[in-house]
Amino acid sequence: MTDERTVLLVVHTGRSEATHLARESAAKLAHAGVGVRLLAPDAEDVGVDKAEVVEVTPAAAEGCEMVMVLGGDGTILRGAEVARASGTPVLGVNLGHIGFLAESERDDLDVTIDHVVHRKYAVEERMTLDVTITYNGGVVASQWALNEASIEKSARERMLEMVVEVDGRPLSRWGADGIVAATPTGSTAYAFSAGGPIVWPELEAMLVVPLSAHALFSRPLVVSPRSVVAVELMHRNTEPGVLWCDGRRTEELPPGARVEVRRGVQPVRLARLHRGLFTDRLVAKFGLPVQGWRGGLDRPPRHAAADVGAIRRNRPTPPVDEHSDDVGATP
């Protein structure tokens, strides 16, 4: 590693708070001797004079130590798009609502900058999905996703008729609004909203979740990460379908198109400031009731991630049984 260090800032410029925090972050990084890079669409709104400005390409994060994102999960997914090819870690500072992909909150910005400057973070790899569309026997498009690939109807008044296949064998035919194939990372996003299970990110698997299927069997499925899930749009569909990857990239699916989803070759790397448990993250993000928990009496309580503490900081502290290690208490 050379002495020259650079952090790429990806900013939700539609939020004035984000642009303000971006300027503040750039100043603090520069003071610590860390250079700042900005994407061209963000640079004018952020207005950091000495920042390096690059176009939005797969090479945008090359040579950077980290991609630091100021925004919600949508902006973090945008940051993942430019970071994935170079394998640069992504660190999210949540300025949105739930922010499951984020590692810290707006109130923890100083602590976050300190961790970046002093390299006090770990990096974990998250499974992605590779998506291939074929039509009339030829490949017409390829995509990828960190959260999910969703196949949806384009006409509101009609169902999408499709046959679903797993590992080369037919599973079922559905008339539905669509179907979601998700990673464990995406299990708390679109798949969760559609009734799918929450999957701990340490587990590698693929979720298959039908969307409002008109069928007796339409349960969410969890399949092996080595499986290939294929969805074929039946020729009798009178309208095309549409593929959405992470809600950001889209492809049209004509009747007769085939979509194959498999584990991605290239993972996304996320920077983690703390080794908090995913259970604690769920409790904090969804505000789950855990008062009365009496476990862990014979061991010290674990500390949750920074975002857990930040969220709970603004909530009334629930009454704590003096004889228990209540996980609902403020860390």
- Point out the catalytic residue in the list 73, 177, 280, 307: 73
Kindly compute the dihedral angle of the four CA atoms of residues 132, 135, 139, 144, in this order, to the nearest 10 degrees: -20
C-alpha distances out from residue 183 to 98, 207, 223, 264, Å: 18, 6, 10, 10
Instruction: From 87, 92, 51, select the one nearest 69 (Cα to Cα).
Output: 92
For 135, left (φ over 0), alpha (ψ -120 to 50), or beta? Answer: beta
What are the residues facing 173 on neighbouring strands? 163
Number of helical H runs and strand E runs in the chain: 7, 20
Return the amino acid letter for 266. Answer: Q
The span from the CA of 307 to the CA of 273, in Å, is 10
73 catalytically annotated: yes
Distance of CA 188 to the CA centre of its chain: 9
DSSP category for residue 201:
T
Q: Catalytic site residues?
A: 73
